[in-house]
Amino acid sequence: MEENENLYDKIKEIIGNVPDDLNILEDSIDVDLQAEYFEFSSKLSRKYDKKWALQQLGTLQNPYSSIGMKKNVLTRLATLENIEAYRAIETYMEHPDKELKQWGQLALQESKMHMKSHLLEENQILISTGLGGRDNRLRYFVVLVARNKIDINDLQVDILKKEFIYTIEKYDGIIEDFDYSGYLVAFMVLLPIKHPVRNILSEGIDQCNQLGDFLEPDSIITNVRRISFDEVVEHLENNN
């Protein structure tokens, strides 16, 4: 995304309006698994009808049912605008099979979205990323780089924490954790979807640099997964 682009505005551009209560996948789930799930769901909805799915409700609580069968049932039930289907998935997720925990989380979120769409009589949007989110906020993993790759000192760490907490909270965001190593600082942050992420981070960097000019203006931002410090160092070295 370009720096001046905003996911909220892109959604608005595509569908015309954005509901106040967005459906954001809360759990951190591998994006490849998410892609597999939604592709599988599309194929299964063409293979099995609504009647078949509702006839298989007992399968989820049957210890003798195969993982493959439960996977089919979870996926097909999730597409129905049916409270019984939603409750069946919800009950299963209280004690899910280990192999289907994340799959079931996707199914439950999709089912919840379809139920809301049916009850509110309006189309719902499901936003899913690798790191998930909460309420109307998406979760991002951010890495800041010290200027000239000089190790961050304790005073600079204090400045970073105070300035970024202040900036993030000003936009109704939440910093979940904070870590640093050498010349790198990393943190997980929840930010409302309506605010451009890069603008907020640039503001935080500018605030810090007014008190020492020790950060590079660019940052690394992802909502796919947490990145290790070693991976960041390798990336920076490969890209000068």
Question: What burial class does residue 57 get, using C-beta atoms within 10 Å of its C-beta: 0-12 exposed, 13-18 middle, 19+ buried?
Answer: middle
How many other CB atoms are found less than 10 A from the CB of residue 129?
20
Helix (H) or strand (E) holding 217: strand 215-222
Q: Mean pLDDT in the chain?
A: 87
| Tokens read off for 49 | 């009808």
Distance between CA atoms of 185 and 161, rounded to whole angstroms? 10
Q: 133 near 29, Cβ under 8 Å? A: no
pLDDT value for 132: 87
Q: Find where tokens 């509110």 sit.
A: 120
pLDDT value for 180: 94
User: To 10 degrees, the CA torsion angle through 76, 134, 228, 105?
Assistant: -20
| β-sheet bridge partners, residue 126 | 23
Determine phi and psi for 145, rounding to 5 degrees: -120, 130
pLDDT in tens, 50-67: 899 899 999 999 999 999
Evaluate if residue 32 carries a pLDDT over 80: yes
pLDDT value for 168: 96
| Tokens read off for 51 | 């009647």
pLDDT in tens, 137-182: 899 999 999 999 999 999 999 999 999 999 999 999 999 989 999 9
pLDDT in tens, 63-72: 999 999 999 9
Helix (H) or strand (E) holding 237: helix 229-238
Q: 146 near 216, Cβ under 8 Å? A: yes
**More confident position, 24 or 68:** 68
pLDDT value for 102: 94
Give the residue among 137, 155, 135 at the shortest CA–CA distance from 146.
155
pLDDT in tens, 87-102: 999 999 999 999 999 9
pLDDT band at 117 (very low <50, low <70, confident <90, very high): confident
C-alpha distances in angstroms, 22 versus 11, 116, 135, 154, 225?
11, 11, 8, 39, 21
pTM of the model: 0.77
* Dihedral angle sign, alpha carbons of residues 131, 134, 136, 141: negative
How many other CB atoms are found less than 10 A from the CB of residue 30?
12
Q: 124 near 117, Cβ under 8 Å? A: yes
Evaluate if residue 126 carries a pLDDT over 70: yes
Domains of the chain (ranges; CATH) run 21-127 (no CATH), 133-238 (3.30.70.1290)
Cα first-last separation, the chain: 22
Evaluate if residue 114 carries a pLDDT over 90: no
